[in-house]
Every structure is written in C-alpha cells, then in structure tokens.
Amino acid sequence: MRSSPFALPDRILAPPPADRRIAFLKGVRFAHRGLHGGEIVENSRAAFAAAVKAGHGVECDVQMSADGAAFVFHDEALARLTGRNGTIGALSQGEVGRMLLTGTEETIPGLDEVLTVIASQVPILIEIKAPGPQVGRLCLSVRRALEGYRGEVALMSFNPEVGYWFAAHAPRIARGLVVSEQEKRGMRGRAERHLALWRARPDFLAYDVRDLPSRFAAAQRERGLALLTWTVRGAEAENIAAEYADSAIYERQDE
C-alpha cells in the first residue's frame, strides 16, 4: 500500500506526544457539557457536580464576555439557555454572571467556578469557542483561570489557532483539535484537516462519532495521538467509540 503524502509532514509538523502526557485522557467517559437532563441544565454547576458524583470526566465549553472573562456556556447566542436576546460576547462579566439559566436558580458559571466544583476529582476537557483568528484574549483568560489548578485538564477547539496559542504560551497543558468531516469530504477536506493538524500541533483529536471509522483519525491514533469521540448517544455510537476511539464524550440516551 502506498504511504500517504501527508505522513512525513505530519510527523515533522505535528509530532505525537509522550504517552504519559495523554494517559489521563484514555479509558475515561466524559460527560458532554456535564451530566445533564431533566431539571439539570447543560454546562451548569449541577451538571458538573452530577458528573463528579458519577465518577466521570467533564467536558465543557468556554465563551468570552465583552471584557475578556471566560464563562462556561455553549451557544454564542443566549436565547436557548437563558430566554434572553443577545450574545455573551456583547455583555460584561458582571452582566453575564448575573444571568440565570432557564428553569433554574443558577447563573451562568465562570470557568473558575466550574474548576472549584470539579476540584481535581475527575479529568476535565475545556472546549474553547473562538471562531475567528484573534484567540489570544480568551486563551489568556482560560490560562489564568487554570493557574494553580492541580487536576487533570486538557484544552481543545475546532480552531487550530487555539492549539497554536497554547503550544506557544502554555505548552505543559494538553491540547486537542476538534474535528468533523461533515461537509468536508474529498481532497480539499483532507488537506484542510492536515493543515489544521500542523497549525494546532495537538496531543489528541476529539472526533465527530458520525465520521468514524476515519482514515485520518486512524492514522493519527496509530502514530500516537489520543482519539476521543463526540457526541456519543445510544448503543450504536457506544460500539463505534469502543472500537475506534480511546474515550467517549457522551450524553445520556434520553437527552
């Protein structure tokens, strides 16, 4: 079989991590946005406390307020989870911090508050939501929140600039590239994945379960990157995760 033309540049531009650097990511079930459902809202303190109680790792999302504070919230828009118009990025830290999650008495948590809830009891994956090229302000806010934190933590993003920033400014923190092949098939999509890999220099991939098995994912896993997969719901996805990935980022089937 002919070797991939990307194999050599992959090795040079995105070398695999030492096994000990990514060992904590393997064989773990990560609760997607915390263990939520019923009266427990995603990315809430209650959802993270439930995941810790279950002994599962935590996956969460981070957005930035207008004045640069890191808040744990998935959507750019506020409406779905708060019933309010607007975006987190248009509000100050104080305004975001007072906003209630719909149907609860909980406010949108800051990243520092979530770290306090988890308290190094389980591993945490932090997905940094930074779609544009200017990622430094949010990345710096996340790094500051993590100063002094003793637990197992890894950062990831669809945006390879996030991995690039952390490789330069906080190289000890494990970093990952989030990947979906949906609507990115063919040679162009393949080339984009490798370009993102070279820019981010990740220790692991967080892969869309709908795309597994994947030649790209399998090649990166074979050469030493950890492979996580999202969002795993139901028996079929669980079987795919068990066969093709090192860990699952999951939601309960009733979600």
pLDDT digits (tens, 9 = 90+) for 162-196: 999 999 999 999 999 999 999 888 999 999 999 99
Positions of the chain with pLDDT under 50: 1, 255
Q: How many whole angstroms separate alpha carbon 244 and alpha carbon 18?
A: 21
* In-domain check, residue 10: no
Question: Looking at the chain, which runs of residues are DSSP E strands?
Answer: 29-32, 57-64, 70-72, 124-128, 153-157, 174-179, 204-208, 226-232, 247-250
Instruction: Decide if 219 is inside a domain.
Output: yes
For residue 9, being part of any structural domain is answered with: no
What pLDDT sits at residue 14? 98
Parent domain of 182: 19-250
pLDDT on residue 1:
44
Exposure string over 101-132, b if 16+ CB within 10 A, otherwise e: beeeebbbbbbbbbbebbeebbbbbbbbbbee
Q: What pLDDT score does 183 carry?
A: 87
* Domain assignment of residue 135, yes or no: yes
Are the beta carbons of 229 and 249 closer than 8 angstroms?
A: yes
Q: Is residue 14 part of a domain?
A: no
pLDDT in the model for residue 155: 98
**Predicted local distance difference test score (pLDDT) of residue 133:** 87
Count of domains for the chain: 1
Residue 194, domain member (yes or no) = yes
Q: Compute the distance between CA of residue 169 and CA of residue 140 in angstroms, rounded to an integer.
A: 9
Tell me how far apart the alpha carbons of residues 112 and 47 are, in angstroms, rounded to a whole number.
15
Whether residue 76 lies inside any domain: the answer is: yes
Q: How far apart are CA 33 and CA 122, in angstroms?
A: 14
User: What residue spans of 33-135 are helical by DSSP H?
Assistant: 45-54, 79-82, 93-97, 111-118
In-domain check, residue 7: no
Residue 96 sits in a domain whose CATH number is 3.20.20.190
